[in-house]
A and B are shown apart, each in its own frame.
Chain A
Amino acid sequence: MRYDSITEAIGNTPLVRIDPAVHGLSHIDLYAKLEMLNPFGSVKDRAAWNMARPALASAAERGETVVELSSGNTAKALALLAGMHGLKFKSVTNRMRVPEIKELLLLLGAEIEELPGQSECLDPTDTDDPLTRFHQALAGPENAYLHTDQYFNPRNTEAHATGTGPEIVKDLDGRAPDWFIACVGTAGSSTGVARVLREQDPGVRVVGLVAHKSDFIPGIRTIDEVHQVGLFDPATYDTIESVTAGEAIDGMLTLIRRCGLLAGPTGGAAYEGAVRHLRTVDAELAEAGAAERRTAVFIVCDRAESYLSYVRQRRPELLGRPPRKNSAAALSDAEVRQLATVIGTADARRWIEDGRPRPLVVDLRGPHAYAVLHIDGSVNIADELFEELLRGGLPFSKRQPVLLACPIGEKSARYAALLTRMGHPDVRSLSGGIVAWRDAGAPLVRD
């Protein structure tokens, strides 16, 4: 395959059969449309390219900025397309909820505007919700924006009516599947594909999947949010069902660990929602003794890598590591009390002045706090770094006495206990910490 531009690689994604041993359906062949294999990594590549393509040349002439309300894949694709055409891209979003995506967008050169959070005290005089303000800015007289408007732009749907849908039909040897299952975000892919499949076979059943109302699944809207999408028409779907974040992660794990598909949570939600829906009809088919096989297609819209923090937040055990060596957190409170030597402010001052050798004072607070005020002559090793250091062994000579200090003497006692257990003969913790030191009127300096 040889291309002149990466945009030529958009579309023509594979349709891969899911092993029946995995999904357990006996009368239905389930296929995954691997939109994650688009060059920018998601199903949105199609829509972004189709929406932007006709306007890019004139936008470049006028030096416009491409702008879209997106916190994810559409922004990613548009940022790359804008960059290829010498344009800037700006994404306006309701707070990036997935940090990797945000950083990736910054890497791609996107400018990101994050909208404010919800008001706590209702202000009835507040007429301009952030989105209204956004649209006002776009409509302003000096606007130099190319707004792709993915939630209302018919070219979003069209990208799938001319691409995704026909590809599915072609790969199923000219037939539409019996079921098409898609997550609803902008409603572009589900609407466009459904239109083509129904033209082929009016009997195809379309299942729209939305996120459970109290959950967050990247790229999927909740049942309330879909109503705010101009492309959304309830008549497109034979049924709308909701999936939870838990199901999305379950599905993602199945696709990754058993099918070799590196799918993200949205693809996981589509798989899980598809199997859940099809299980009932499969049982009915089995009961009726149906001989012929049916087919169903779902969309895997993007890849897993960008969602590790999403997984970490919800299922930390999936990213589990073996327990750390020499961890302060692993000590029980009783062990801390038993092992740690603590010393009050007055004794500590005497020790610092008269000790032979004098103790090394280690301040475990963050560097900014240390910079503002600290015990004269102390060194700063913030607790996170100290924890890392200790994993490798003792960072001080055993002949060097050490006084550990933290804000209130709690963390320092824990580390004193750990160092003692690691074999250091004389490490002490400043009782009551820097707070007690200050309250006793002992000197603190800034350099």
Chain B
Amino acid sequence: MRAPLYLQPRLEPPLDSLLAAAPFLHSLADALGSPLNVLVPDRIVENVAAFRGVYREHHLTGRVYFAHKANQASSLARRLTATAPAAAGIDVASLSELRHALECGFTSDRIMATGPKDPEFLWLAARTGASVNIDSRAELDQLAGLIRQYDLPRTDVLLRLSEFEASASAASGTRVLFRRSRFGSPVREVDALLDAVERHGDAVRLTGVAYHLDTTGVAEKAVALESCVTVMDECRARGMDPRVIDIGGGFGVGYVADAGQWERYTTELAEAVLGTSPAMTWRGHGYGWRNEGGTLRGAPALYPAHRPTAGPGYLDELLAHPAPTSGRPLATLLLEHLYGLACEPGRALVDQCGLSLARVLDVRRTGQDSGDLLVRLGMNAGDVSLEEHGVLVDPVLVPRPGARSDADDDGPVGVYLAGNLCLEADLITRRKVFLPRLPRAGDLLAFANTAGYAMDFHAHHAQRQPVARTVAVTRDGDSWRWCLDEEYWPITGVGGPFS
């Protein structure tokens, strides 16, 4: 066999020590079944602190909002409510998320409503006093209508803007193409939008502008941010007093620890697709690449799993980046214009906050001549949607404590991970995964760092298979405590409130 193509996960405290606590993880899975999601709520506080550290470094004020859609758990949201109100808020993108945020203890001044909104969502946001991140002119009209009709309090709004191409092109002298987004109002229509804000002055108060760009490119974000500063200045000229620019998320997470592993893996994947080295994926899946007459075509649909800068590091890089027109660093620009900064990291704020456990049900060879090993798990692709998000990273093998070690199983092995649905397509990941040894029935595979989007984003009740339960765990000296996610409160220890 060729050298194993590991993609080992990046593990930081406390996830690393939790993964070393095999008896504890097995007792959890024995009690609550497979699959099982395990969250470490305390870590999210450290992540907020890291982002705030970047703010402090650049002398910026403003909140970091947790994009709730990244994980629906109560424990993460509730843990955040127990942090400084000026530091952290929550970004909700549905009526249900808004209700959940309120129920978890977020006061409305810490809640921002974003995304596509139905009337009920708008009404409750305005009723409770949350800020509304306005997606379109029609949505603004609708909100103002609701506020007047139901005599609701004047509501804080931010305007989400999009399509910054023109300003980008003007700034760089070249035509800059942007990725299309379904969200936000084109920046060229901002005058009409501001007219509407003024017309609805009795119902809404403009507190800022926002953008969300789905790109890893700092240059595009710099263009958007500088454009937002210009729009904010325009608002001031109209006599408004906006205070904050919301730059959305997309700061990234590094999933794979070792750059060399990632580089080697992707190189070999390209060669496998070209047929010059053995297949590495189920039925030669190319992850977006294809072989056309010996030339690689297409683009890999993969999350850049190893990243030298991600999360707070990426925010720091963005804030230090020069604004395309003025040349002043973006943080300086915000500071000089007296604007605060809001951001909404989803994935990056729950980095290292949880893992997903799956029981190994059986291990067998596929019937075909390939002799591929298939490991069937008590979990399906919806429970840990790594594949859906293009995230390639190995699970961590957590052996069943006390099980007899079998010399035959020693040594690295490449396996395919199959799910618990009666569907040919239900593979946890379509690539061959290398493990330090062959797993056995009863072992656990832990998918590390799944709290952001991967844990429960696509989980559903298909085939009446159980959807993962979620538990929150906290450190208790040398051991771990756990409770069901819905039973977690930041003030509660096992057996009642902390004295």
Please tell me the size bucket of the interface on B.
35 or more
CB pair B172 A114 closer than 8 Å: yes
Hey, what's the 0/1 contact readout for B219-239 against A, CB within 8 Å counting as 1? Answer: 110000000011001001100
Q: B309 on the interface (CB 8 Å rule)? A: no
Main secondary structure of the interface of A (DSSP, over half): loop
Please tell me which one of the listed residues B177, B294, B299, B301 contacts residue A124 in the complex, with CB atoms under 8 A apart.
Answer: B301
Q: In the complex, are the beta carbons of A95 and B388 less than 8 A apart?
A: no
- Stretch in contact with the other chain, from A15-23, A59-67, A226-234: A226-234
Is B170 close to A, CB under 8 A? no
One of A42-50, A276-284, A367-375 contacting the partner:
A367-375
B335/A130 in contact, CB under 8 A = no
Q: Does A394 contact B (CB under 8 A)?
A: no
Chain B binder among A115-123, A155-163, A200-208, A300-308:
A115-123
Segment of A105-113, A254-262, A343-351 in the binding face: A105-113
Check A373 against B338 for contact (C-beta < 8 Å). Answer: yes
* Binary per-residue interface labels of chain B (425-439) against chain A in the complex, 1 for a CB within 8 Å, 0 otherwise: 000000000000000
Name the residue of chain B whose CB is nearest to the CB of A120. B250
Cα-based distance from A173 to B267 in the complex (angstroms): 41
A406 to B336, CA, bound (A): 7
**A408/B252 in contact, CB under 8 A:** no
Q: Does A443 lie at the interface of the complex (its beta carbon under 8 Å from any beta carbon of B)?
A: no
Q: CA of A286 to CA of B271 in the docked complex: distance in angstroms?
A: 37
A366 engages B301 (CB within 8 Å): no
- Find chain B residues with CB under 8 A from A119 CB: 179, 214-216
Q: Contact between B299 and A129 (Cβ–Cβ < 8 Å)?
A: yes
Q: Is the Cβ of B177 less than 8 Å from the Cβ of A117? A: no
Among A123, A214, A366, A370, contact of B259 (Cβ-Cβ < 8 Å)? A214
Report if A389 contacts B (CB, 8 A).
no
Which of B175, B178, B214, B333 interacts with A112 by CB under 8 Å?
Answer: B175
- B178–A116 touching, CB < 8 Å: yes
Asked if B296 contacts A213 (CB within 8 A), the reply is no
Interface pair B175/A230, CB less than 8 Å apart: no
Query: In the complex, what residue of chain B is closest to A93 when comparing beta carbons?
Result: B174
**Residue B59 at the A interface, CB < 8 A?**
yes
Q: For B299, list chain A residues within 8 Å (CB).
A: 129, 131
Q: Do A366 and B333 form a contact, CB below 8 Å, given A119-B215, A120-B214?
A: yes
- CB-contacts of A367-408 with B (<8 A): 367-373, 382, 406-408
Within the complex, the shortest CB–CB distance from B288 to chain A, in Å, comes to 8
Whether A366 contacts B214 by the Cβ 8 Å rule is no
Give the residues in chain B near A114, CB-CB below 8 Å: 172, 174-177
A-B contact count, CB below 8 Å?
Answer: 132
User: Within the complex, what minimum Cβ distance (angstroms) separates A312 from chain B?
Assistant: 14
Q: Is B274 an interface residue (CB 8 A)?
A: yes
Q: Which residue of A lies closest to B264 (CB)?
A: A213
Chain A residues positioned under 8 Å from B266 (CB to CB) = 224
Pairwise interchain contact A368-B217, C-beta atoms closer than 8 A = no
Determine if A102 is an interface residue (Cβ-Cβ < 8 Å). Answer: yes
Hey, which chain B residues are within 8 Å of A112, CB to CB? 173-175
Query: Which A residue's beta carbon lies closest to that of B301?
Result: A122
Partner among B220, B271, B295, B390 whose Cβ is within 8 Å of the Cβ of A229: B295
**Which residues of A have CB within 8 Å of B267?**
213, 223-224
Residues of A within 8 A of B174 (CB): 96, 102, 106, 111-114
A83 to B452, CA, bound (A): 52
| Bound CA span A307–B250, Å | 31
Q: Map CB proximity to A onto B5-42 as digits: 1 under 8 Å, 0 otherwise.
A: 00000000000000000000000000000000000000
A241 contacts chain B at the CB level, 8 A cutoff: no
- For window 150-179 of B, CB contacts with A under 8 Å fall at 172-179
By beta carbon, the residue of chain A nearest B217 is A117
Closest to A122 in B: B390
Give the chain A neighbours of B453 by CB distance below 8 A. 121
In the complex, chain A residues whose CB is within 8 Å of the CB of B390: 122
Bound-state Cα–Cα, A399 to B219, Å: 46
Q: Are A407 and B328 in contact (CB under 8 A)?
A: no
Q: Which residues of B contact A120 (CB under 8 A)?
A: 214-216, 249-250, 252
Interchain nearest-CB distance for A221 vs B (Å): 11
Taking a contact as CB atoms closer than 8 A, the residue among A116, A131, A410, A435 that contacts B338 in the complex is A435
A114 to B165, CA, bound (A): 11
In the complex the two chains form, what is the Cα distance from A407 to B175 in whole Å? 34
Task: Please give the distance in Å from B403's CB to the nearest CB on chain A.
Answer: 37
Contact with B along A401-440 (1 / 0, CB 8 A): 0000011101000000000000000000000001100100
Q: Is B377 an interface residue (CB 8 A)?
A: no
* Mask of B313-354 contacts with A, CB within 8 angstroms, 1/0: 000000000000010100011011110000000000000000
CA distance A269 to B173 in the complex (A): 31
Contacting residues, chain B, for A152 (C-beta < 8 A): 295
A2 at the interface (CB under 8 A from B): no
Query: Mask for B164-197, Cβ within 8 A of A = 1, else 0?
Result: 0000000011111111000000000000000000
Q: Find A228's partner among B59, B214, B230, B296 (CB 8 Å cutoff).
A: B296
| Contact A366/B326 with A114-B177, A407-B338 known, Cβ cut-off 8 Å | yes
> How far does the alpha carbon of A130 sit from the alpha carbon of B178 in the complex, in Å?
10
- A214 to B262 CA separation, bound complex (whole angstroms): 10
* B276 interfacial by beta-carbon distance below 8 Å: yes
A369/B179 in contact, CB under 8 A? no
Judge whether A365 is part of the interface by a CB distance below 8 angstroms: yes
Q: Determine which of B59, B173, B178, B298 lies in contact with A129 in the assembled complex, contact meaning CB atoms within 8 Å.
A: B298
Closest to A119 in B: B214
A446 contacts B by Cβ under 8 Å: yes
For residue B238, give the distance in angstroms from its CB to the closest CB of chain A: 12
Asked if B364 is at the interface (CB within 8 A of a chain A CB), the reply is no
Q: A230 CA to B292 CA in the complex, in Å?
A: 9
B296 partner residues in chain A, CB cutoff 8 A: 224, 227-228
Contact residues in B for A435 (Cβ distance below 8 Å): 335, 338
Query: What's the minimum C-beta distance from A156 to chain B, rounded to whole angstroms?
Result: 14
What's the nearest-Cβ distance from chain A to residue B439, in Å?
28
> Are B270 and A407 in contact, with the CB atoms below 8 A?
no
Q: Which residue of chain B is the closest to A129 with respect to CB atoms?
A: B299
| Chain A proximity mask over B53-87: 1 for CB below 8 Å, otherwise 0 | 00000010000000000000000000000000000
* Contact present for B295 and A372 (CB under 8 Å): no
Q: Residue B304 at the A interface, CB < 8 A?
A: yes
Closest to B388 in A: A124
- Whether the Cβ atoms of A410 and B59 lie closer than 8 Å is yes
Q: Least Cβ distance of B499 to chain A in Å?
A: 40
With A102-B174, A112-B175, A227-B295: A118-B217 Cβ-Cβ less than 8 Å: yes
Bound state CA distance, A1 and B338, in angstroms?
64
What CA separation (Å) do A446 and B172 show in the bound complex?
29
B179: which A residues are within 8 A, CB to CB?
Answer: 116-117, 119
B282 close to A (CB within 8 Å): no
Please tell me if the beta carbons of B337 and A369 are within 8 angstroms of each other in the complex.
yes
Using Cβ atoms and an 8 Å threshold, which residues of chain B touch A122? Answer: 301-303, 388-390
Verify A368–B337 contact, CB threshold 8 A: yes
B297 within 8 A of A: yes
Contacts A123-B214, A407-B335; A228 near B250 (Cβ below 8 A): no
Given contacts A95-B219, A214-B259, A228-B296, A121 and B173 within 8 Å (CB-CB): no
B177/A130 in contact, CB under 8 A: yes
Contact A113 B175 (CB under 8 A): yes
Complex: how many Å from CA A79 to CA B332? 38
Q: Is the CB of B263 within 8 A of A213?
A: yes
Name which residue of chain A comes closest to B249, CB basis.
Answer: A120
Chain A positions within 8 Å of B337 at CB level: 368-369, 372
Interface residues of chain B, those whose CB is within 8 Å of chain A, are 59, 172-179, 214-220, 229-230, 233, 236-237, 249-250, 252, 259, 263, 266-267, 270-271, 274, 276, 294-299, 301-304, 326, 328, 332-333, 335-338, 388-390, 453
Interface pairs (8), CB distance under 8 Å? A96-B174, A114-B175, A117-B215, A122-B302, A131-B299, A228-B296, A369-B338, A435-B335
A sample of 14 more A-B contacts (CB under 8 A), given A102-B174, A368-B229, A434-B336, is: A95-B217, A114-B176, A114-B177, A115-B177, A116-B215, A120-B214, A122-B388, A124-B301, A129-B299, A152-B295, A213-B267, A223-B267, A370-B336, A434-B338
Q: Lowest 6 A-B CB distances belong to which pairs? A: A117-B217, A369-B336, A112-B174, A365-B336, A120-B250, A227-B296
